[in-house]
Each structure stands twice: as structure tokens, then as C-alpha cells.
């Protein structure tokens, strides 16, 4: 019985705690590292404005239907860029101050930021080809 319990613990170990990513697919963990939710204004300043990498900023809302389509589509394409670009997700209901500061009047609004400056922007939903072109332009590829 003790051996069985030890074996169960051993088998479950890779799916819990800090070692969890070692037992999972690379694409999933890479996507999680390149996409993050903005927590507050100082987090936005640190992780977006001061980022050494280009950042795609997705201003969205929980109640927004098109946002629910665009968000995962954009996350998938950002993950495919293998760390060349990051994606910050900003819920406009939680961070109204950021939405006002960046003149977001409709959702989804997506900004492309490089060296702390907005270099491109679109409002509304886009297909994958348009999103790939948007990312390539931001990365400079």
C-alpha cells in the first residue's frame, strides 16, 4: 500500500507545483510566458512600456463577443513568434484609467507598442492573415 501511494505521488508530481511545465507541451507553456494579464498601472508600466521586446496590447472586456474570438486567435499567433513579441491583456472594466490614457473607445482595441510608444493600432476583429501581417510589421520581419 505504501509503495502504491508513493508511486501515485510520483506520477502526479509533474502536473503540480513549480515543476508543472516540465511535463507539458512546449507550445502551451511558451504561450503562457508570452501572454500576460495586466494587474495595474505600475505593472503596465513595467511589463509593457519598459519592455525591451515589442508588445501587443489587447484591450478587451468580458462581455465583448468579438473579444472572445480575437483574444485566443491573437494569443496563438503571438505564441508562434517564439518570444519575439509579448502580449498584454487589459480588461477595460478593471483598468478604465489605462483605457482612457490610450484612447480606447471600443473593444477590442489592439495596440502595437515598441520602446514604450504606440506604433500601430486596430479596432475590431481581424482574420489570421491580417493579424500575422500586424505582428510581422511590429517585429520588423
Provide the annotated active-site residues: 64, 67
Task: List phi, psi (to 5°) of 81.
Answer: -80, 0
Preceding omega of 108 cis (within 30 degrees of 0): yes
Please, are residues 103 and 71 in contact by the beta-carbon 8 Å criterion?
Answer: no
Q: In this structure, is the dihedral angle defined by the CA atoms of residues 55, 59, 61 and 65, taken in order, positive or negative?
A: negative
CA atoms of 16 and 29, how far apart (whole Å):
14
CA atoms of 137 and 81, how far apart (whole Å):
12
Please, are residues 120 and 138 in contact by the beta-carbon 8 Å criterion?
Answer: yes
Amino acid at each position: 500500500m505504501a509503495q502504491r501511494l508513493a508511486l501515485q505521488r510520483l506520477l502526479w508530481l509533474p502536473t503540480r507545483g513549480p515543476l508543472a511545465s516540465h511535463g507539458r507541451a512546449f507550445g502551451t507553456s511558451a504561450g503562457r510566458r508570452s501572454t500576460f494579464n495586466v494587474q495595474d498601472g505600475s505593472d503596465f508600466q513595467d511589463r509593457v512600456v519598459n519592455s525591451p521586446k515589442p508588445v501587443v496590447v489587447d484591450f478587451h472586456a468580458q462581455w465583448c463577443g468579438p473579444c472572445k474570438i480575437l483574444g485566443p486567435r491573437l494569443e496563438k499567433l503571438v505564441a508562434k513568434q517564439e518570444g519575439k513579441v509579448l502580449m498584454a491583456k487589459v480588461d477595460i472594466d478593471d483598468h478604465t484609467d489605462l483605457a482612457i490614457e490610450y484612447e480606447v473607445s471600443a473593444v477590442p482595441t489592439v495596440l502595437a507598442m515598441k520602446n514604450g510608444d504606440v506604433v500601430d493600432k486596430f479596432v475590431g476583429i481581424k482574420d489570421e492573415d491580417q493579424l500575422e501581417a500586424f505582428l510581422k510589421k511590429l517585429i520588423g520581419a
